[in-house]
Amino acid sequence: MDFEVAYSPEQEQFRAEVRAWLAEHVPQVEGDRDSDENYEKYRQLGRELGAKGWLRPAAPVEYGGGGLPVDHAIVIAEEVDRYDLRLPPYYDSGGTLGGASILVWGTEEQKRRMLPPIFRGEVVTWQLLTGPEAGSDLAGTTTDARRDGDEYVLNGEKVFVGGSHGADFLWTIARTDATGERHRNLSWFLIPADLPGIQYRRMELLGDGNEGIGSGYKNTIYFDNVRVPAAQLVGGENNGWQVASTHLELEHGAGGRIGSNRLFRMTREWARQLKREGRPLIEHPDVQERLVDVFVQTEVTRLLNLRNYWMNQSHQRMSYEGPQASYYGKMAGLEVSQAMMDIIGPYALTTDEEWDVSRGLVEPYLKSAIVALHPGGTADIQKVIIARRIGVGRDIAERAGDTGGQAAF
């Protein structure tokens, strides 16, 4: 059985079109990819992709998406990945995941109002789920939203959220019935980010300043009597956990980034250029063995993600596949970044121009692989979900959250 997708001549023609367009439009950036200047360039690219319908290629046209079939969406995702970018080409956690939640749970009015700016790249949305008291146990949040006329009044705190360059909207989950039954006492809000009473404070974390790979920083965000219009509640009062199950299903790997085995190709290139004992690294058997490990792990990660993207977009019933890809990707990330360091050895440490073919990237990759164990559900939590879905630890296998076939666009 061949897992690789075979592309038709028509799909390859579309790929050539996408590749040519990207070659013309993807900006040249220098230095820190997360600098203000570079971030603006990527925002602009996002708007141009959005205007073409390629920012959220498979999302419905009437809500600002491209309305393209799944195979075209895959081609675009693969071509964007060649630049080590994703869709959108900047941090937009809430739009990527939350757009699908609006499609599944929003009213028609909400879809027409909220989705086009997200799908065209006109606004940035962050997801604010984790609280100091509620990480893995998200349903235990103590952020409160009390109804007051046509508004909800929010109080609480969210941690590890957002990015470096501000947002236009914030997704959050809050208790709308503080004494209600667990999982039936929460609601899901899309909040304008500039409402009075919202305070932002930067968090210092291990992954900060991973300049070469453009990772930004996270924030603590406080809600202090923030008055949110009731029209911003999505999915019905006290139905927030059900909305979250859509959002989290996507975040747990059911249809996110496909990715590529770029890290393998990059490391192989370094091994061709660098020498040990007068011979290119790639001629040494120990390096060859490690390179094969890197290939297998990056390739399996890519294939699991590709399968999930396809399953999700073609409305297949999903089960353990999302957390399986997430868990495998997190663990493979650790091993791949370690292998990259083992392969180039002391070259990973130098910034001397003559030898620094890795451009100082190995150390940030290593740090980011450790950090990546946590967001979007920790590696442990992915295992817990897989176990429930395959009937381990529970007699009746748990069903996956309803994504309505909506990939994280």
Ligand X SMILES: Cc1cc2nc3c(=O)[nH]c(=O)nc-3n(C[C@H](O)[C@H](O)[C@H](O)COP(=O)(O)OP(=O)(O)OC[C@H]3O[C@@H](n4cnc5c(N)ncnc54)[C@H](O)[C@@H]3O)c2cc1C
| Nearest alpha carbon to residue 179 among 209, 142, 224 | 142
Gap between the Cα atoms of 316 and 400, Å rounded: 11
Nearer to ligand X, 27 or 132 (CB): 132
Output 76 or 243, the one with its CB closest to ligand X.
243
Alpha helices in 233-378 (DSSP H): 240-251, 262-273, 285-313, 321-344, 362-371
Nearer to ligand X, 5 or 205 (CB): 205
Q: Please identify, using beta-carbon distances, which residue of 160 and 270 lies nearer to ligand X.
A: 160
3-state secondary structure of 219: strand
Q: Give the C-alpha distances (Å, rounded to integers) separating 384 from 40, 130, 177, 392.
A: 39, 18, 28, 9
Nearer to ligand X, 73 or 381 (CB): 381
Q: Where do contacts with ligand X occur on this chain (CB under 6 A)?
A: 93, 127-130, 135-136, 160-161, 207, 218, 371, 374-375, 377-378, 380-381, 384
* CB 163 within 8 Å of CB 216: yes
Classified as helix, coil or strand, 303 is helix
DSSP characters over 120-149 = TTSS-EEEE--BTTBSS-GGG---EEEEET
Distance in angstroms (rounded) separating the CA atoms of residues 297 and 182: 39
Residue of closest CB approach to ligand X: 135
Smallest gap from Cβ 408 to ligand X, in A, equals: 13
**Taking a C-beta distance cutoff of 8 angstroms, is the pair 193, 345 a contact?**
no
Based on CB atoms, which residue is closest to ligand X, 381 or 408? 381
Give min distance, CB of 139 to ligand X, in A. 12
Q: Which whole-number Å values give the CA distances from 70 to 58, 118, 200, 291, 309, in the listed order?
A: 6, 20, 38, 32, 8
Q: Which is nearer to ligand X, 342 or 398 (CB)?
A: 398
Q: State in angstroms the smallest separation of the CB of 71 from ligand X.
A: 30
Q: Please state the closest distance from residue 375 (CB atom) to ligand X, in A.
A: 4
Q: Least Å distance between CB 205 and ligand X? A: 6
CB of 50 to ligand X, least distance (A): 22
Distance of closest approach, residue 251 Cβ to ligand X, in angstroms: 9
